[in-house]
Structure 1
Amino acid sequence: MLTRRVVIGLIVGLLVFGVWAVSETDVPETPEASVGGTLVIGVSQTFRDLDPRISDSIYDWYVIGEVFDDLIALDPETLEPRPYVAKSWNVVSDKQIRFYLNQGIKFHNGEDLTAEDVAFTLNSIVDPENDSPNCWALSWMQEAIVVNSSTVDILVKAEYAPYAPLFSALNLAIVPKDTVLEMGDEKFNLNPIGSGPYKFVRWIVGTEIVLERNEDYWLVYPNLDRAIYRPIPTLSVMMGQLETGAIDIADNMPFQDIPRFQANPNVDVWQCPDLSYFYLFFNLQHAPGNDIRYREAVGMSIDMDEAIYAIFQGLTGIRAYGCIPPALWANDRDYLAYDIALEEDDIQANWLFSQLKAEGVISEDYETTIYCPLDPRRTQLATIIAESLKENGLDARVQSLDWGPYLDLINRSEADPLGEDFDQGIIGWSGGPDPHDFLYYLLHSDNAVVGAADNFSFYRNPEVDYLISTADTTLDQEKRERLYVEAQRLCFEEYVHIPLYHLIETKGVRTRVHGFRIDPLGGIHLCDPYHNVWVE
C-alpha cells in the first residue's frame, strides 16, 4: 500500500534529549479503491465495553480502533511507535516527553481534539479512583500536563525515568473530555463518540455493532460506507458464514478448517506469528532444576520439531527459540535457533541423567512431574515430553491443573493446594509491542517474587538484570536492541526455559476485501495511517 504524508518533515531515528523523534503522520493511499459498500466482520466473542479507558478486550478494540484515534500508531511491519494524533514528539529530559498534536482533528460531535482531551484520557487511566484495568500499561506515568491546545507533556515517575518502552504503551485511544463529563462514564461506554474514521451507530447486544463513515475524517477519506461487527462465538457457525459470504472477515479460524479455506478461491487465509510465547520453565530454587545438566538433559530428550508439528500440523503454531516473538525486533531468532537451541540427543541426555543419579542429585528411582494448565495443547505437549524423558531413563508423569490452583503452585502461593514444590511446568505469556514486555517480566529478578511471580523460574542473574534495566532506560533504539539481544542469549545459554512455541494469528478474509493486513497484536484495522480497507 502506498502512503503519503500529512506534514512534511524529517524523521530522526534515535530518541535523543532535545531532538525531534518524528515529525509526520503517514496516510494510506488507495487510488485503485472502490469507495462504498459494507464490510461484515465475524467476531468470536461478545463485546463488553466501548470506552477505551476501561476496555481490556481485543474484541472491543476491533470497534474502538475505528471509532477513536490513537495518540501514537504502531508500524505494522516493525511494531515501532509512529505518529498519529501526535504528529511529533521530543524528549525534553529523562522525566519529560513533549507531544505535538496534529491540529484540525474533530470529534464526531464537532468538538476539537486538543491537548486537554489527551491529558484527560491518560490521567483518568492512571487515577486509582477510576480503577481502570489499563492502568498497568501506564504504571510508569506520573501525570499528563497541558502546555497549550496542541502540546502536552507526559511526566515519567522518577523511579522509571528514563523509560523507553513508554512510547509503545501510548498506542491509546483519545476520548473527548467535555463530552465524557457531560454524558457520564456509563452512557459514554454504551454510546462512544471519538474522532476516528467511523462513527458509532448502534449496538444491539449479542447481535451486532454498526459503524458508519466519518465523512469529515481528518486523516483520509474512509473507503467503506459501513462496518458491521457480529458476535459469532460458535466457530463452526462462523466458518459457515465465511464460506457463504454472509461475513467478509472471520477473526478466528480453527486449524482443521485452514486447508479447506486455503483451497477456496473466494477466501484468503491470513496468518502471522502473534505476540505469544509458550515454554517449559524450571524451578531454579531446588534440585534438580537448579542444575544446568538436568535442564540440558530434559531439552535434549525432546524432538521439538516433531512435537510442535504433531500438535499444530504446521498451521497454527511454530517452534520458539527464545522468549521474544518473531514479530518483534530484537528477537534474534536465527542465532538462537542455530547456536543455542537444544536438539534431540538421546545418548547425551541419558548420560547426563546417569551422571545426576551417580552424584546423588536425583535418586535412582526419581520421578519428576510436568505441570501444566487444563489446556489440550499444553497437556499433549507435556505428555510428549514425559514420554521422551522415560525413554532416557527418567520416570515422568503429567499433572494438569485448573488455572487458579496452577498459578498458586508456580507462584509459590500460600494457597498452593498441593503443598509441594515442583521441578518444571509449561506456561504461556502474551506481551505488548516491545521486547521489554517479555524479557523484563519473564527473566528479571524484580519479578521473581514469591506469591506474585511472572519470572516463574525465579531466575536471578545480576548481569541479565543490568542488561534489561539498561535497555529499558536507554532511548537509543540500536543500543536497546543490542542489550536485549545480549540479555536473551545469556538466559537461554543457561536453559532457564526450553522454548516451545508461538501461536500463529489466523484470520479468514473474503477475496472481495482489499487493503487488509493481519496484525500480530490480534487487531482488525480498517482505516488508520497504514490501512484504508475497501470492498469490491
Structure 2
Amino acid sequence: MKKNWLLLITFFVAIFLAACSSGGASTEPNNEKDGNKEEKSGGDNTLTYASLTDAVGLSPILTNDGASANVTDHVYEKLFERNAETMEIEPQLAESYENPDENTWIIKLKQGIKFHDGTPFNAEAVKYTFDKLRDPATAAPRASLMEPVDTITVVDEYTVEIKTKYPYGPFLASLSHSNAAIVSPEADQKQDLMNNPVGTGPFKFVSWVPGDQIVLESNPDYHDGEPALKKVIFKVVPEVSTAISMLQAGEVQFIDKLPTEQLSRIESLKNVTIEKVEGTPQYYLTVNHSKVENQDPEFRKAIASAIDRDAFISKMNGLAVRSDSIIGPKVFGYKESADKAGTPYDLDAAKALVEKNGYGERPIKLLTANRGNFVLMAEVVQAQLAEAGFKVEIETMEWAAFLDTARAGEYDITFLSWSNLTADGSELFYPNFHSDNVGSSNRAQYSNPEFDKLVEASRTTTNQEERLELLHQANQLMLEEDAIVIMYHDVVTAALDSSFTGLQLEPTGKWNVSKVTRK
C-alpha cells in the first residue's frame, strides 16, 4: 500500500514538474518574441534613428561630419544655441554675456551643472575645451571657430573672459556651432572621447558597435529635466530605401533628409508624420573663377540667363525654396529685396550671348557629385545649357573625390552646397568665397578685392545692424557679377513614427529628440 502511495505521489509530482516545465518553455519564447517586437517598434521609451552613415567619432573637437554631430549634439552642449524658431542666439550653458569693449567677451556660466562623469562644469572646462580646439597640435577640423581668439582667462569658477585679436561679429554664432561643445577635461585626459564621450547633455553614451549602431541613454541628472526617452539608438542603414521600409515596419522610428524621389512613398505611409521647415542649406552652380575664360562677365551672364530654376524646383516636390539671394531667408544677412536680384531666366538672351561670343565652340566640363539632388541638377542644367547653345559634358564622382577635385579647381563649372550651421552670412561668405580660402574651402576659386573688404568688415564689427548692411552689399555684388547661380535653398525634412511627438527640427538641418515623447 505504501509502495502504491509512493508511486501515486511520484506520478503527480512528475505531472506538476512537466506542467511547470511546459509553462516555462512556452512563456520564454513568447517573452523573446515580445522583446524583439518591442526592440523593433522602439518600445514606449526607445527611439531608433536610421543613419545613412556611421559616425566618424564622438568628440566634438576632433570631428566635423553630420553623422557624428547628430550623436554629439545629444551628449554635449554649447555655451550658446540658435533658437530654431526665431533664429536668435540664446544662452545654453552660458547664463549671460557682456561686451565691455569690442574685443572682450565676459561670459557668465550656469551653476550646478555636472558632466556625465560627475565632474563639475565650470570656467576651467570652457577654457580647457577652447584651448584644445584652437591648439595647432590638436589639428581640430573646425579650429577656425577659435581663430579670432587671443586669450581665454578664468575670472572665477563660473566666469570666463575671452579676448579676440580683432572685433569679431559672428563670435556668438561660432560658439553655437556643434564643434564648440564643451567636453569634460577629466574625461578627455583619462579616455578617448572619440569612442567614449562625456558631456553635460540630455543623453549619456552607452555603447558603439562600428558599422552597426550607437546607443545613448537618458541623463537622469540633466539640468533641464530628464528626457522622456530612456534610450536613443543611431542605427546605421546605408540605403535610404531600406531605411524607409524599416520605418514602415516600425523597426526604426525616425529618418531625416527625405529624398525628393521617395517623398510620395513616405507620404503614403499611414504610421508616419512628415515634418518640414525652411532651412539654411543651399545649393548653387558656379564657374571655376580661376580660369581666364570664365572671368568673362558675358560668359557668366549667358549661363545665368540659360538656367530656368523654376523648372528645376518644380521637380523638387516642394522641398526647395526659390530665391536668387545667396544669403538664404534663414541666414543672418538676408534681405528680401535680394530674392529677385539675380539674372532672370531668358533663353533668347542666353542664345544671343553664346552666338555673339562663340561660347558653343568649346566643350564645358560640368563636375558633379554622384549623390542626391546633385545628379538631378546636373541633368537639368546640362539640357538647359545645351538649349542655349553650350556644349556640356557631365563628369560624375563620388563625394570625397568630388570635393578634392573641386578644391583643386579641376573643372569648368560645378555644383556646390553649404549647410550654414552657424546661420550667419559672414560664415557663409568667408569660407566659401573670400580669396583667403581659394584652394581650400573656396572651391569656386572666386576672388574679388571689393567683395573681400565687405566680408572682412562684416566680420570685424560687433554692431549687428552694420553687419547686416555689409552682408547685403556683398550679396548684391556677387549677384551683379553672376558669380554663382543659386539653384535652391533647402527645405529640411524628417519622417517620424506618428506614435511619437515633440521632435525639434532646426533650419540648420540639425534636430533634437530630448523633448520627444510617446503619445
What range is the shorter-chain TM-score in?
0.7 to 0.9
TM-score (norm 2): 0.82
Superposed CA offset, 1:85-128 (max 9, x none): 11111113333211100111122233221111111111111112
What is residue 448 of structure 2 aligned with on the other side?
460
* Amino acid corresponding to residue 388 of structure 1 in structure 2: Q
Alpha-carbon distance between aligned partners in 1 of 2:509 and 2:310, rounded to the nearest angstrom: 25
* Amino acid corresponding to residue 392 of structure 1 in structure 2: A
Superposed CA offset, 1:166-208 (max 9, x none): 2111123212222332x23x2x433323222222233333333
Q: Which moved more, 1:92-101 or 1:319-328?
A: 319-328
Contact 1:207 1:231 in 2 (8 A): yes
Alpha-carbon distance between aligned partners in 1 of 2:289 and 2:510, rounded to the nearest angstrom: 37
Quote the offset at 1:461 in angstroms: 4.0
Contact 1:368 1:396 in 2 (8 A): yes
What is residue 338 of structure 2 aligned with on the other side?
336
* Amino acid corresponding to residue 362 of structure 2 in structure 1: E
- Superposition pairs of residues 40-119 of structure 1, within 5 angstroms: 40-119=48-127
Does 2:286 correspond to 1:281?
Answer: yes
Quote the offset at 1:465 in angstroms: 2.5
Q: 1:445 pairs with 435, 446, 462, which one?
A: 435
Q: 2:362 pairs with 356, 359, 367, which one?
A: 367
Contact 2:368 2:394 in 1 (8 A): no
Secondary structure of the 1:483 match is helix
Secondary structure of the 1:39 match is strand
Unaligned 5+ residue runs, structure 2?
Answer: 1-43
What is residue 435 of structure 1 aligned with on the other side?
425
TM-score (norm 1): 0.80
Superposed CA offset, 1:390-414 (max 9, x none): 433444444445667766765566x
- Superposition pairs of residues 107-186 of structure 1, within 5 angstroms: 107-156=115-164, 158=165, 161-171=166-176, 172-181=180-189, 183-184=190-191, 186=192
Q: Which moved more, 1:219-228 or 1:239-248?
A: 219-228
Contact 1:411 1:453 in 2 (8 A): yes
Contact 2:435 2:445 in 1 (8 A): no
Superposed CA offset, 1:29-58 (max 9, x none): xxxxxxx72222222222332222223232
Percent pairwise identity: 26
Alpha-carbon distance between aligned partners in 1 of 2:288 and 2:101, rounded to the nearest angstrom: 41
- Relative to its length, the structure with more helix (as a share) is 2
Contact 1:445 1:455 in 2 (8 A): no
Secondary structure of the 1:130 match is coil
Q: 1:326 pairs with 326, 329, 335, which one?
A: 329
What is residue 276 of structure 2 aligned with on the other side?
271
- Residues 485 and 211 (structure 1 numbering): CA distance in 2 closer, same or farther, change over 3 Å? same
Q: Which moved more, 1:147-156 or 1:288-297?
A: 288-297
- Residues 428 and 69 (structure 1 numbering): CA distance in 2 closer, same or farther, change over 3 Å? closer
Secondary structure of the 2:324 match is coil
Q: 1:476 pairs with 463, 466, 473, which one?
A: 463
Does 2:387 correspond to 1:391?
Answer: yes
Quote the offset at 1:509 in angstroms: 0.5
Q: Which moved more, 1:394-403 or 1:348-357?
A: 394-403
Secondary structure of the 2:504 match is coil
Does 2:309 correspond to 1:304?
Answer: yes
Alpha-carbon distance between aligned partners in 1 of 2:252 and 2:397, rounded to the nearest angstrom: 37
- Residues 96 and 208 (structure 1 numbering): CA distance in 2 closer, same or farther, change over 3 Å? same
Contact 1:459 1:496 in 2 (8 A): no
Secondary structure of the 1:129 match is coil
What is residue 291 of structure 1 aligned with on the other side?
296
What is residue 36 of structure 2 aligned with on the other side?
none
* Amino acid corresponding to residue 328 of structure 1 in structure 2: V
Secondary structure of the 1:128 match is coil
- Residues 112 and 291 (structure 1 numbering): CA distance in 2 closer, same or farther, change over 3 Å? same
Which of the two has higher C-alpha Rg?
A: 2
Contact 2:504 2:513 in 1 (8 A): no
- Superposition pairs of residues 384-423 of structure 1, within 5 angstroms: 384-400=380-396, 411=407, 423=412
* Amino acid corresponding to residue 442 of structure 2 in structure 1: D
Does 2:414 correspond to 1:425?
Answer: yes
Quote the offset at 1:83 in angstroms: 0.4
- Residues 402 and 122 (structure 1 numbering): CA distance in 2 closer, same or farther, change over 3 Å? same
- Residues 74 and 389 (structure 1 numbering): CA distance in 2 closer, same or farther, change over 3 Å? closer
The count of residues paired between Structure 1 and Structure 2 equals 471
What is residue 487 of structure 1 aligned with on the other side?
474
Unaligned 5+ residue runs, structure 1?
Answer: 1-35, 417-421
